[in-house]
Amino acid sequence: MGGWAIAVHGGAGVDPNLPAQRQEEAKRLLTHCLHLGISALRSSLPAIDVVELVVRELETDPLFNSGRGSALTEKGRVEMEASIMDGPKRRCGAVSGLTTVKNPVSLARLVMEKSPHSYLAFEGAEEFARQQGVETVENAYFITEENVGMLQLAKDANTIMFDYRIPTDTCSGAAGTIDSPLQMNGLPISLYSQETVGCVVVDAQGRCAAATSTGGLMNKMSGRIGDSPLIGAGTYACDICAISCTGEGEAIIRGTLAREVAAVMEYKGLDLQDAIDYVIKERLDEGKAGLIAVSNDGKVGYGFNTTGMFRGCATEDGFMEVGIWE
């Protein structure tokens, strides 16, 4: 047993010109979430409770793309999705197409624990939320002014927004609220969509858990489901490790990225970081995604092939790190 470990992400695919202030805000939030997780682990909360707690915090803050601050569909609404997985028994729950549930990750957990199923979507998921009495809010609660501007940029560029591949000269927005590609209402904005959140934990008993939550891609089609709620693609946990992915969902789904890390550890006998490096190199298209992971021996690791990935990690021996770039 190697002690507890935790990692958290706020998405892969970062604007290389992201304003310094925004970088600091992101690092502050990641650090805060790590501390939240660390104190929960020190109080002996099981891994599954810790990942839910941390992801709820990220969903509540509008900085990243989950819960409040979620990316918008082409229709200008949010359709959120999340999943959670408890390693020891491989129990899992997932939700998609949520429009009113304040904390999608907690509904995913209720699907896992209180329904006979592992995945509920759209109307049925919303009905289940009401039956379970979880907190709901108007769709407008999730929509930030910044994301309204970002959606317009994506529409102007005729693209579904992800990472650094949008050339700046296609983004000179025609929208009234956008003063220039880097300004909205006089404030600097990123040209790139904020990204998904996730957390992976191994507790002191060696139990692994993972959770991921997102609004998906900016300007996505209504009804689009990404990797984040798909067990094996965006999220996976078993008795040896836990993984949460972020990036272009379609590429992560094709690579069954999260499960692949576990499979490589299981069948090839690689250790955590080697398994991550192998999967990023062999199973993922260039420039598409990243992931965080922990293993049951208290190790933490990550990898990405995008410009950057908002991330942080900590282990019981006192190591702690928060970063964005390589």
With CB atoms as reference, the residue minimizing the distance to ligand ASP is: 249
Angle in degrees, 0-180, between the axes of helices 104-114 and 47-60, rounded to the nearest 10: 150
Q: Which of 196, 235, 256, 307 is catalytic?
A: 196
Of residues 21-80, those binding ligand ASP (CB under 6 A) = 65
Residue 288, classed as helix, strand or coil, is: coil
| Cβ neighbours of residue 277 closer than 8 Å, sequence gap 6 or more | 303
Using the rule CB under 6 A, which residue among 15, 59, 195, 260 binds ligand ASP?
A: 195
What residue type is 26 in one-letter code?
Answer: A
Residue 136: other Cβ atoms inside 10 A:
17
Judged by CB under 6 A, does residue 290 bind ligand ASP?
no
Nearer to ligand ASP, 178 or 217 (CB): 217
Q: Considering only the stretches 17-25, 178-186, 225-233, 270-278, report the one whose residues sit in contact with ligand ASP under the rule CB under 6 A.
A: 225-233
Closest separation in Å from C-beta 228 to ligand ASP: 5
Q: Could you tell me how many residues make up the chain?
A: 326
Question: Smallest distance from the beta carbon of 72 to ligand ASP, in angstroms?
Answer: 13
**Rounded distance, CA 167 to CA 147, Å?**
19
Which CB, 99 or 228, lies closer to ligand ASP? 228
| Binder among 152, 214, 235, 306 for ligand ASP (CB under 6 A) | 214
Question: Ramachandran region of residue 108, left (φ > 0), alpha (ψ -120 to 50) or beta?
Answer: alpha
Residue from the set 247, 287, 303, 308 that interacts with ligand ASP by CB under 6 A:
247
226 binds ligand ASP (CB under 6 A): yes
Q: What angle do CA 239, 89, 7 make, to 5 degrees?
A: 50
Backbone angles phi, psi at 37, to 5 degrees: -65, -40
Q: Is residue 206 part of the contact set for ligand ASP (CB under 6 A)? A: no
> Backbone phi, then psi, for 57, in 5-degree steps?
-60, -45
Q: Does 228 bind ligand ASP (CB under 6 A)?
A: yes
Residue 159 bears catalytic tag: no
Task: Please give the residue ranges that form the binding site for ligand ASP (CB under 6 A).
Answer: 11, 65, 195-196, 214, 216-217, 226-228, 234, 246-249, 252
Catalytic residues: 196
